[in-house]
């Protein structure tokens, strides 16, 4: 009996060494070695790019938007996903004087190419130019609108107007410190977009959360919702994540 068991063990070892793939053949199809499988947010519009999967839930997020945290489970195929805009590397950290100026209300003037303006009174932003491009030149003028996302006047059942701006930016440009205080926005704060004809589109902040640079689901629309999303880089000074402020039309 003992000899039979020993012989069986030796046989199994030889099979494993010759065919290691057989050792994992019994793993269930849904099991992942890289972390738990992430489910699709049921509120996410399935017709838009990206999913809303995530590894955990931010304590300050609204549950109907799904998980908002980052970094808990690995993702396969990140190289095929759209990288969220902005890169704060090589920008100088602000001086004390520049930070004092950023704490006061800043008024901007719309250049000819701007499609609308952004006003966020709680953090002192008035009439910031919004450019419909994600180029460096556009970013230097203020805030960019991600071209493939909604506009406030889009004729769709739901919208997600996606805007991004620098946390630092170059001194002397329209982007310098434009979203430096974005983290100070709170639920209920008012945000206003205004088109070139003067029509106002008002939103109220719902939530603030952080995602990784490949979490492009935040650019997608959410079924039945009329949203505005503001994005910048965080934390200072490493900037490896993206700070997201999500607001809804009122």
The pLDDT value given to residue 98: 84
CA 142 from chain centre, in angstroms, equals 19
pLDDT tens digits along 147-158:
999 999 999 999
* CATH classification at residue 174: 2.40.260.10
More confident residue, 113 or 1: 113
Answer whether 204's CB lies under 8 Å from 188's CB.
yes
Gyration radius (Cα) of the chain, Å:
24
Confidence of residue 80 (pLDDT cuts 50, 70, 90): low
Answer whether 182's CB lies under 8 Å from 123's CB.
yes
Terminal-to-terminal C-alpha distance of the chain: 78
More confident residue, 114 or 171: 114
> What span, in angstroms and rounded, lies between the C-alpha atoms of 221 and 19?
47
Mean pLDDT, residues 66-89 taken together: 48
* Residues spanned by the domain of 26: 3-249
Burial of 37 (C-beta count, 10 Å sphere; 0-12/13-18/19+): exposed
How many Cα atoms are found within 13 Å in the side-chain-facing hemisphere of 144?
21
Confidence of residue 61 (pLDDT cuts 50, 70, 90): very low
The pLDDT value given to residue 96: 86
Query: Into how many domains does the chain fold?
Result: 1
Q: Which secondary structure element, helix H or strand E, spans residue 126, and what is its range?
A: strand 125-131
The pLDDT value given to residue 82: 66
pLDDT tens digits along 199-218:
999 999 999 999 999 999 99
pLDDT tens digits along 4-28:
444 444 444 443 334 433 333 332 3
More confident residue, 75 or 134: 134
The pLDDT value given to residue 202: 98
Nearest to 75, CA basis, from 233, 214, 209, 241:
214
- The first and second tokens of residue 237, run together, are 């000074």
Q: Is the pLDDT of residue 1 over 90?
A: no
Average per-residue pLDDT in the chain?
73
The pLDDT value given to residue 37: 17
Top-confidence range, 60-69, 76-85, 101-110, 229-238: 229-238
How many Cα atoms are found within 13 Å in the side-chain-facing hemisphere of 218?
32
Distances (CA, A) of 202 to 115, 128, 198, 228: 16, 15, 12, 10
The pLDDT value given to residue 89: 65
Mean pLDDT, residues 173-177 taken together: 87
Confidence of residue 88 (pLDDT cuts 50, 70, 90): low
- The first and second tokens of residue 99, run together, are 């930070």
The pLDDT value given to residue 62: 30
Q: Which residues contact 11 (CB under 8 A, 6 or more apart)?
A: none
Among the ranges given (31-40, 96-105, 218-227), the one the predictor scored with the smallest mean pLDDT: 31-40
């Amino acid at each position: 009996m003992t000899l039979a068991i020993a012989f069986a063990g030796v046989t199994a070892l030889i099979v494993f060494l010759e065919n290691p793939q057989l050792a994992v053949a019994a793993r269930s199809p849904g099991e992942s070695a890289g972390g738990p499988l992430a489910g699709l947010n049921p509120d996410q519009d399935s017709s838009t790019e990206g999913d809303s999967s995530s590894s955990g839930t931010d304590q300050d997020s609204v549950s109907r938007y799904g998980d908002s945290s980052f970094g808990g489970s690995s993702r396969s195929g990140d190289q095929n996903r759209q990288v969220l805009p902005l890169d704060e590397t090589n920008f100088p950290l602000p001086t004390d004087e520049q930070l004092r100026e950023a704490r006061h209300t800043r008024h901007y003037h719309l250049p000819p190419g701007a499609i609308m303006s952004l006003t966020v009174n709680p953090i002192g932003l008035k009439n910031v130019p919004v450019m419909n491009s994600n180029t460096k030149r556009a970013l230097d003028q203020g805030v960019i609108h991600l071209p493939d996302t909604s506009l406030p006047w889009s004729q769709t059942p739901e919208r997600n107007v996606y805007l991004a701006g620098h946390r630092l930016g170059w001194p002397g440009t329209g982007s310098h410190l434009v979203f430096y205080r974005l983290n100070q926005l709170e639920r209920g704060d008012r945000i206003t977009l205004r088109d070139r004809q003067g029509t106002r589109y008002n939103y109220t902040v719902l939530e603030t959360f952080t995602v990784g640079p490949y979490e492009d689901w935040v650019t997608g629309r959410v079924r039945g919702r009329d949203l505005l999303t503001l994005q910048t880089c965080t934390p200072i000074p490493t900037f490896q994540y993206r700070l997201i402020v999500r607001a809804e039309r009122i």
